[in-house]
Amino acid sequence: MTEPIHEPVFWTDDSTVCEPIAHGEDIAAHFHDFGQLRYAVSGALVTETRVGTWVAPANRITWVPPFSVHSSRSYGETDVRLLRVPAALTEQLPTEPSVFVASALMREAYLAVISDHEPADSPRARLLLDVVIAELARAPQESLRLPEPSDTRLKAVTDLLQADPASRATLAELGHRTGSSERTLSRLFSSELSMSFHQWRTLLRIQRALLELCEGASVTDTAMRLGWANPSSFIEAFTDLVGQTPGRYRSAARAAHD
């Protein structure tokens, strides 16, 4: 899910409303001189950068700051609504890509400013955009950013895990396969990614679980396919990171799609 980003293209504009994106469709690496908000009405959108990966299922809003190089991939048939934010209005928002839970007020203001088709500088459009930004500034961020390592020794390990999230290999075993010691890798996870090996692998699995549940997979099948010993441990880990049980998340994702 984290392929290298090469030769990003500068885009001067984006349509505010996209046609539905097919499952697995890629949007090439690019950047803008304005900020961009991305709301998945259905499906899920993965945003990748050089420093990490963010997953935004339905009812989440992704924030991409000006000049942040990013690429995307859709999961499920994804209906994404894009909203341009002038650079001058971005001071209240994070300086790196982020994913927020969309409140009812934020969602309605967001969709209204897009569907009205008014000039971006009209009083009504500016008022609605101000509401969206104010809501974002106070909205909880999803703690689901998966950091991407730059150290080649660490990346060799994370690449193996990306290819097989269900792998139960220990850090020592992965180190043996990649030519690094367990002690060195453990230090690199802590110093470069600010988390342990176990935390990183759990976060990777949770990101993949979000995508599988969004596509309708059962909680038990998802847990088994992604390497948890039993559904209970998966439910506990998922709830700790996402803030709701996987069953409730799956139901909400299906309702948003319907």
Are residues 22 and 86 located together in one domain of the fold? Answer: yes
Q: Residue 236 in 3-state DSSP?
A: helix
Query: What is the number of structural domains in the chain?
Result: 2
Structural domain of residue 238, as residue ranges?
148-257
Cα separation, 132 vs 232, in Å, equals 37
Please tell me the predicted confidence (pLDDT) of residue 149: 92
pLDDT at residue 13 tops 70: no
| Residue 49 · residue 150 · CB < 8 Å | no
| Residue 75 · residue 211 · CB < 8 Å | yes
Asked if residue 1 is part of any domain, the answer here is no
Are residues 27 and 67 located together in one domain of the fold? Answer: yes
Are residues 73 and 46 located together in one domain of the fold? Answer: yes
Q: Residue 246 in 3-state DSSP?
A: helix
Asked if residue 2 is part of any domain, the answer here is no
Q: Where a domain ends, among 80, 108, 138?
A: 138
Residue 14: partners with Cβ closer than 8 Å, 6 or more residues away: 32, 36, 82, 84
Q: pTM value? A: 0.76
Asked if residue 230 is part of any domain, the answer here is yes
Please tell me the predicted confidence (pLDDT) of residue 16: 43
Are residues 127 and 233 located together in one domain of the fold? Answer: no
Mean pLDDT of 199-215: 91
Report residue 3's pLDDT band, with 50, 70 and 90 as the boundaries: very low
pLDDT at residue 23 tops 70: no
Q: Where a domain ends, among 138, 162, 184?
A: 138
Asked if residue 143 is part of any domain, the answer here is no
**C-alpha closest to that of 97 among 132, 59, 135, 46:** 46
Asked if residue 131 is part of any domain, the answer here is yes
CB-based burial, 37-66: b 16+ in 10 Å, e otherwise: bbbbbbbbbbbbbeebbbbbbbbbbbbbbb
pLDDT at residue 123 tops 80: yes
